[in-house]
Chain A
């Protein structure tokens, strides 16, 4: 019984702290992402190349952009966005670079 109470305390505490910390960031993040996504940015590919080199090369060799199709890069970069804790805009830049280079 004591274990269950202790368990609920941990779960509840974690969820509350998470919501308190990240709720403001969530709103700010959605605003920034949506407003920037609407604008075409000619420098996106350049930023993407830099982000690709700095982030992907941190753990493994850089894959050739020609290894995958556009659609496969969409999924692969989304997967790596989670695994490598990338910012969404950073991941979008990397996708733009890879699609422009494959």
Chain B
């Protein structure tokens, strides 16, 4: 009985459990189909997300790999730089610089010049003067400067300003050989570069065709000798010397050969009376011969008409002598300078192909002087603009006797006033007025307006 009851109960329970399941299956057949589709869609969506995620992970891995490679390269570069810096520092501190060293220097300028004479208003290209210094240990230094400029007809001119070897012999003597700037006076050797010169041009008589020699070719001995608390500076020069020009004047530029085998001897002695006051004296002597025309230009020199009997003066050559003195006071913001030069060439007969007995050239005398003062307003007020200003004034005279053409072209009183503005210690803008009062009847005076920017590098 109990067995029957148990079996009956079990069957009932099974039936009771099966009836609802069967009923549910039957009632939701359509719902199952839509759920499957939703499930499939979700699965597809998940698969798509998985693919996207996988792609992203791969890209991240590639990026990470590239970043790692970049970092490795950077680290390698840093190690290389550190190694080079260490080697450089070791070299620098070991006191082992190169045996051969060089330095590029020089200066350049451009400007504008206007005036009260017709056709005087022009932009001027100015000059470009690169300078080269090559030094080998402490044995010698070779230095040279070129000058490039543009002529009024557009041509470019190139000149070798100087080209010299400097060989220090000891503390007090240096041997200079080659083409060098004239050591006569101060202007040509020290002050003529446009970033140093406080006014746009040279003083009258101190530029080309003046009494101031520009350069010479030969040898110099120069240096400094201490004298108590001060010192004496000297330059002794032996060069090819002056020559006679086509116009019958005296050429005072370094030439490549000596036309008369007579060397000029000259130089300058300088003395510091005070640390800021330098006094100097210069001297030059040599002989000039008659004008030697270049090959293909066998014209006679410009005749200086004079009825002088042949034989009454020297034939073929004449003595040329120059002397001068200079002073420079440079203390603080004030710089005052003075120079005087006086030269003469004796009268002589300059022989030519047409006149073997010679064309008479009278005694030629030239003298020039200038005084200049400039004041940098670095202690005036508190404005930087004012501090960079520098007013300047210069007056000079140039006189010539014994050559009418040269005298008409060059003899004058020259007065300059100007105002400079320093953009940097080696960059200056200049604005100035120049009055030229020619000392020959009939030659009109001139007024020039000058602007210039100059850079020393």
Interface residues of chain A: helix, strand, loop or mixed (majority): helix
Q: Which of B171, B224, B231, B278 has the most CB of A within 10 A?
A: B171
A-B interface, 3 closest residue pairs, ranked by CB to CB distance from nearest: A29-B171, A75-B103, A85-B233
**A10 near B238 (CB under 8 angstroms)?**
yes
Cα–Cα distance between A81 and B233 once the two chains are bound (Å)? 12
**A63 near B425 (CB under 8 angstroms)?**
yes
**B141 near A79 (CB under 8 angstroms)?**
yes
- A59 contact set on B, CB distance < 8 A: 190-191, 196, 330
* CB-contacts of B94-110 with A (<8 A): 97-98, 101-103, 105
How many interface residues does A have (CB within 8 Å)? Answer: 44
B positions within 8 Å CB-CB of A:
92, 97-98, 101-103, 105, 133-135, 138, 141, 143, 166, 168-174, 176, 189-191, 195-196, 221-226, 231, 233-236, 238, 260-263, 265, 270, 275-276, 278, 287, 317, 328, 330, 422, 425-426, 456
- B138 contact set on A, CB distance < 8 A: 78
**A11 near B238 (CB under 8 angstroms)?**
yes
Cα–Cα distance between A11 and B172 once the two chains are bound (Å)? 21
- B170 contact set on A, CB distance < 8 A: 22, 25-27, 29-30, 33
Given the contacts A6-B262, A75-B102, A58 and B174 also touching, CB distance less than 8 Å? no
CB closest residue in chain A, given B233:
A85
Given the contacts A60-B456, A63-B425, A71-B97, A82 and B176 also touching, CB distance less than 8 Å? yes
User: Contact flags (1/0) for A37-74 with B, using CB distance below 8 Å?
Assistant: 00000000000000000100111111110011011101
Cα–Cα distance between A60 and B198 once the two chains are bound (Å)? 10
**B426 near A63 (CB under 8 angstroms)?**
yes
- B190 contact set on A, CB distance < 8 A: 59, 83-84
CB closest residue in chain B, given A74:
B101
**A7 near B330 (CB under 8 angstroms)?**
no
- A79 contact set on B, CB distance < 8 A: 103, 105, 133, 141, 143, 166
**A7 near B262 (CB under 8 angstroms)?**
yes
* CB-contacts of A80-98 with B (<8 A): 81-89
Contact of A32 among B101, B171, B422 (CB under 8 A): B171
- A75 contact set on B, CB distance < 8 A: 101-103, 133-135, 141
Let me know if A101 is at the binding interface, CB within 8 A. Answer: no
CB closest residue in chain A, given B166:
A82
**A18 near B236 (CB under 8 angstroms)?**
yes
If A25-B225, A82-B174 are given as contacts, then 15 extra A-B residue pairs at C-beta distance below 8 Å, sorted by A number, are A6-B262, A10-B238, A11-B263, A22-B173, A25-B172, A29-B170, A29-B171, A62-B425, A72-B103, A75-B134, A79-B141, A84-B190, A85-B224, A87-B172, A88-B171
**B103 near A18 (CB under 8 angstroms)?**
no
**B426 near A26 (CB under 8 angstroms)?**
no
Given the contacts A30-B171, A61-B425, A83 and B265 also touching, CB distance less than 8 Å? no
CB closest residue in chain A, given B234:
A85
- B172 contact set on A, CB distance < 8 A: 22, 25-26, 29, 87
